Structure 1
Amino acid sequence: MKYCKKCGNEVSDNIKFCPKCGELINSNNTPNNIVNKKRKIGLKIALISVILILIFSVSAGVAYIKQNASHKDDATKNMEILNVDIDKYPEVTVSIKINNYANKINVKNITIKENDAFQKDLKLSDGVNDNEYAISYKTSDESTSSEKNIKIACTLDNDEVTAEYSYTPPEKKQTVDKKSNSSNSVNTYDNNEIKVKNSIEDYESAYIRMINSKNIDYIKGSIDLSGGLISEFTSLIKNYSEQQIEEELVSHKIEDIKKISNSEYQVTVYEKYYISYGKNKTSSYTDFRDTYVVRSTASDFKVYSIKDVVQISSKTNP
Structure 2
Amino acid sequence: MDLGVLSGKKGNLKRRAEILNLTRRFFIERGYLEVETPSLAPCPIPEAFIEPITSECGCLLPSPELYMKPLLSAGYGDIFQICHAFRRGEKGARHREEFTLLEYYRIGRTYLDLAIETESLIINLAECLIGSAKIQYQGKEIDLTPPWPRVTVSDSFMSTCGWDPVNVHDDEKFDFELATRVAAMSNERPLILYDFPSRMASLARLKPSDSKLAERTEIFIGGLELANIFSELTDPEEQRRRFENELDVARSRRKDAKMPEDFLESLAKLPEAAGGALGMDRLVMLLCDAGTIDEVTAFPV
Shorter-normalised TM-score: what interval? under 0.3
Larger radius of gyration: 1
TM-score scaled by length of structure 1 = 0.20
TM-score scaled by length of structure 2 = 0.21
